[in-house]
Amino acid sequence: MSKKTLYLLGILLTIIIGTLLFCYLCDNCHCSETSKVATEETNTIIAEPKVKSITKNAFVISDANGDFNVKINDNFNFKTSNFSILDTISPSVSEGVTKLKDFLLENPLKTVDITGYYKSDEINNSAFPDLGLARANSVKNYLVSQGIPSKQININGQLNDAINPDDSGTLFGPLEFGMLTSKEGAIDETLTAVCDDIRKNPIVLYFNTGQAQINLTTEQREKIANISRCVDKLGVKIQVVGHTDNTGSATTNMRLGQERADFAKDYLVRNGILEANIETFSKGPTDPIADNNTKDGQAKNRRTVITIN
């Protein structure tokens, strides 16, 4: 073999070895489909699913202007999309409520604020504008059942998507409590005006006797919340009055009007309005608001009115 041939073979071998070393040492060079796949697999990062921590709010109430302070790790709990307190209320929470009752009874100018939280993905099946307010109302009813005057309780609702339930859908303490001091003899003129407006513009429901549920409008939900405030703060009663058209006998219509009033009352009770605060009446066909000689007029006369005295 001539020197020239050996020289050419040496050059070729050098090129081959250099190419192999280049592919081996260069991370970003794709010399083959295998290396390309390997590189893609190496650079692919699988995102770990985010685990939301369960929210557990304590039952905390303190008076900034006094020496009352209660902090309990347990609280009132609820299922998602529900406003009824879960049956099990811990003894420590019950003890805290007793302390709160004693303090409020000794200090009639003190009021406790209850803010109920709700999430944007929850379904509001209550008669209140939002689930947070409905939950606060349920806690208020429990406090009233334990002897705390409703006049010393304020309720609010607030959106809070930071609260997270457990795997069973239980929300632990979706609430916040505060305490305020009122001025002696102070009159809430705003609330007085709201209550007067309800008397002038009550809730009017039109539904068939066999209807299984009541679907309130947004405005009617707001009125339910205001009616509840009027009852709590002013001590008034809710009046539910059933009306009919003039078709049939007077006796039958009086009974039918009472059934409609009782149906609306049951709905309010299921939605957290205390039964003792509701009175029902029937006026039958005696108070029409439209002409009974037309079908449209009869339909308007078949109504149930929810107001306050």
The full DSSP string for 238-290 is EEEEEE--S-S-HHHHHHHHHHHHHHHHHHHHHTT--GGGEEEEEEETSS-SS
Residues 48-74, mean pLDDT to the nearest whole number: 88
* Structure token pair of residue 307: 């107001």
User: Angle 164-95-75 (CA atoms, 0-180°, nearest 5)?
Assistant: 5
Spatial separation of the C-alpha atoms in residues 245 and 283, rounded to whole Å: 10
pLDDT band of residue 3 (cuts 50, 70, 90) is low
Is the pLDDT score of 7 beyond 80? no
Fold matches, 59-181 and 189-308: yes
What φ, ψ does residue 255 adopt, rounded to 5°? -65, -40
What φ, ψ does residue 238 adopt, rounded to 5°? -85, 130
pLDDT band of residue 45 (cuts 50, 70, 90) is low
Q: pLDDT tens digits for 134-160? A: 999 999 999 999 999 999 999 999 999
Spatial separation of the C-alpha atoms in residues 212 and 114, rounded to whole Å: 32
Q: Distance from CA of residue 127 to its chain's centroid? A: 11
What is 59-181's CATH number, 2.60.40.1120, 2.30.30.30, 3.30.420.40, 3.30.1330.60?
Answer: 3.30.1330.60
User: What's residue 207's pLDDT?
Assistant: 74
Is the pLDDT score of 277 beyond 80? yes
User: What's residue 88's pLDDT?
Assistant: 84
User: What's residue 9's pLDDT?
Assistant: 63
User: What's residue 37's pLDDT?
Assistant: 45
What φ, ψ does residue 211 adopt, rounded to 5°? -65, 135
Percent of the chain with pLDDT over 70: 83
Q: pLDDT tens digits for 286-304? A: 999 999 999 999 999 999 9
Q: Give 56's DSSP letter.
A: B
User: What's residue 255's pLDDT?
Assistant: 95
Is the pLDDT score of 162 beyond 80? yes
Determine contact, residues 294/222, Cβ cutoff 8 Å. Answer: no
* Structure token pair of residue 277: 């605060």
pLDDT band of residue 18 (cuts 50, 70, 90) is low
Q: CB under 8 Å to 307, separation ≥6 — which residues?
A: 198, 199, 202, 203, 238, 239, 241
What are the contacts of 57-60 at 24+ separation with CB within 8 A?
Answer: 57/163, 57/172, 57/173, 57/174, 57/175, 57/176, 58/173, 59/92, 59/93, 59/96, 59/173, 59/175, 59/177, 60/177
Is the pLDDT score of 38 beyond 50? no
Spatial separation of the C-alpha atoms in residues 268 and 127, rounded to whole Å: 8
Is the pLDDT score of 99 beyond 50? yes
User: What's residue 209's pLDDT?
Assistant: 60
* Structure token pair of residue 132: 């947070």
Task: Provide the mean pLDDT of the chain.
Answer: 88
What φ, ψ does residue 219 adopt, rounded to 5°? -65, -40
pLDDT band of residue 65 (cuts 50, 70, 90) is confident
* Structure token pair of residue 287: 């108070």
User: What's residue 133's pLDDT?
Assistant: 98
Residues 84-103, mean pLDDT to the nearest whole number: 95
User: What's residue 66's pLDDT?
Assistant: 81
Q: Where are the domains of the chain?
A: 59-181, 189-308
Write down the CATH superfamily of domain 189-308: OmpA-like domain (3.30.1330.60)
